[in-house]
Amino acid sequence: MKEITLETKVSDLLNDYDGMKDILIKINPKFKKLNNPVLRRTLAKIAGVKQAAVVGAMEPMDLLNQLRVAVGQEPVSVDTTEIQNEEDENIPTWITETPTESIDANELLDKEDNPLAKAFNILRKFHEGEILTITSDFKPEPLIEEFEKQGHEVYSQELEEDKFITYVKK
């Protein structure tokens, strides 16, 4: 079996290791979302272990090592001085503007709809400067990275426990 790293895709974990979905859910109940077939077909293919940890509000190395131990791999250690806080504390002023459209990722997932596809369809119709907001009960790290790859400005904040709002500006 391949070595599990922070970049290993969740879909690869699910495909390569029997019972991995249950292992993930046991590690963190927030991963129960993997029971949703839409999430498994979409976000699990783009989300790595590091992104899954952010979604689960965990330290990436903690999740990585729990997964490695669960499948019989040696845990890895990291020099904590090498870990940089990637969170940018500068809140963009554009998030105070009225969003053009809003979607609820949890609602879409409950209906087995794909929040990433829905968001991209909306953004495709937007004019430069228009804003989409996405509410969810987790920080949608895989979505954020996909939006940034497409050249959108993105800012996500936790409003309260298990309630995030992500702003996407075209």
Rounded to an integer, the average pLDDT of 145-169 is: 90
Tens digit of each residue's pLDDT (9 = 90 or more) over 70-80: 999 999 886 54
Ranges of each domain in the chain: 10-77, 93-169
For residue 161, the 8-state DSSP code is T
Would you say how long the chain is, in residues?
Answer: 170
* Burial readout 40-56 (b: 16 or more C-beta within 10 A, e: otherwise): bebbbebbbbbbbbbbb
For the full predicted model, state whether its pTM sits above 0.75: no
In 3D space, the residue among 159, 158, 145, 12 whose CA is nearest the CA of residue 168 turns out to be: 145
Q: Is a pLDDT exceeding 70 seen at residue 44?
A: yes
Considering the chain, what percentage of its residues have pLDDT values greater than 70?
93
So what's the architecture of 93-169 in CATH?
Answer: 2-Layer Sandwich (3.30)
pLDDT of residue 80: 47
SS3 state at 48: strand
Contact 51, 7 (CB under 8 A): no
Tens digit of each residue's pLDDT (9 = 90 or more) over 132-156: 999 998 888 888 988 999 999 999 9
Which residue did the predictor score with more confidence, 73 or 44?
A: 73
pLDDT of residue 69: 94
- Residue for token pair 């409950």: 110
Residues contacting residue 108 through CB under 8 Å, at least 6 positions apart? 114, 115, 118
51 vs 14, 121, 131, CA distance in Å?
A: 15, 23, 23
pLDDT of residue 116: 87
* Tokens of residue 78, six digits: 């990291």
pLDDT of residue 149: 92
